[in-house]
Amino acid sequence: MLKEMFENVRAKSPLIHNITNYVTVNDCANIVLACGGSPIMSDDADEVEEITAICSGININIGTLNSRTIASMLLAGKKANELRHPAVLDPVGAGASKLRTDTAKKLLNDVRFDVIRGNVSEIKTLASGAGTTKGVDAGIEDRVTENNLDEAVAFAKAFAKKTGAVIIITGAIDIVSDDKTAYCIRNGHRMMSSITGTGCQLSALTAAFIAANPENVLKASAAAVCAMGLAGEIAHARLSETDGNSSYRNYIIDAIYNMTPELLEEGARYEMR
């Protein structure tokens, strides 16, 4: 049951180290607080190893990449591995520039990640070294649909086997997969794409869920994805005629804050393949 994953987050209140992008850093902190965790946002090379050491998990997001933070990400990631703390990689925009692609690949080579979360174009870039990312969005030709879902699941399982990580591919249909089992998740609302940072928030949320459930990374990741999608549905139902994407962003955080494990279990829509 997914609700047990959420219950553990609420009970353990994991401290999560986030090296994330400055566009969404506030929203990432708030989504971790909303789920019951506690965030630390630190990206200076002189302290990241110490910060990681006192945390339960780490979320590394390359959304606003610069040469200063690349070194910090590598230091923090290696320290997390040394301490066996769960780690999430969000390769935002991999494929959009050489710097992003090379950095994502170096992180993948030098740090062991428990979860890799991105859109399908970003994940394909990591798998092949080249991609069709449109900025930070998936290329149209890559998008997961009912028609190519089996192919996408097979790809996710193969990449999970290669990396040893749980692979999360987000889109209209979300895929959460290890090398044997995939959750195909149909929670969410299309308006979520009108907000900057729902993916970044999900990566931070996932870090909290896997830190609270380190022995069950696949199920914890699926629970985080379902929770975020369900929050998007609840938030959309709350919108008034005068509300827009700014209100929607806040309502999503509210929905996570007010969500119960029982509500997650009841509202999660997924199948396993």
Give pLDDT, residue 1.
Answer: 87
Instruction: Assess contact for 216 and 114: CB atoms under 8 A.
Output: no
Report, as ranges of residue numbers, the positions in the chain whose pLDDT lies below 70. Answer: 130-142
Of 154, 151, 89, 153, nearest to 126 by C-alpha is: 89
Residue 139's pLDDT is 47
pTM equals 0.94
Contact 46, 87 (CB under 8 A): no
Give 99-145 pLDDT, tens digit per residue: 999 999 999 999 999 999 999 999 999 998 755 554 445 444 568 88
Q: Are 231 and 57 in contact (CB under 8 A)?
A: no
172 contacts 149 by C-beta, under 8 angstroms: no
Report the distance separating Cα 22 and Cα 180, nearest Å: 36
User: pLDDT for 214-230, tens place per residue?
Assistant: 999 999 999 999 999 99
CB 179 within 8 A of CB 162: no
CA distance 38 to 270: 28
Q: What pLDDT does residue 130 have?
A: 59
Domain boundaries, the chain: 3-272
- What is 3-272's CATH topology? UDP-N-acetylmuramoyl-L-alanine:D-glutamate ligase (3.40.1190)
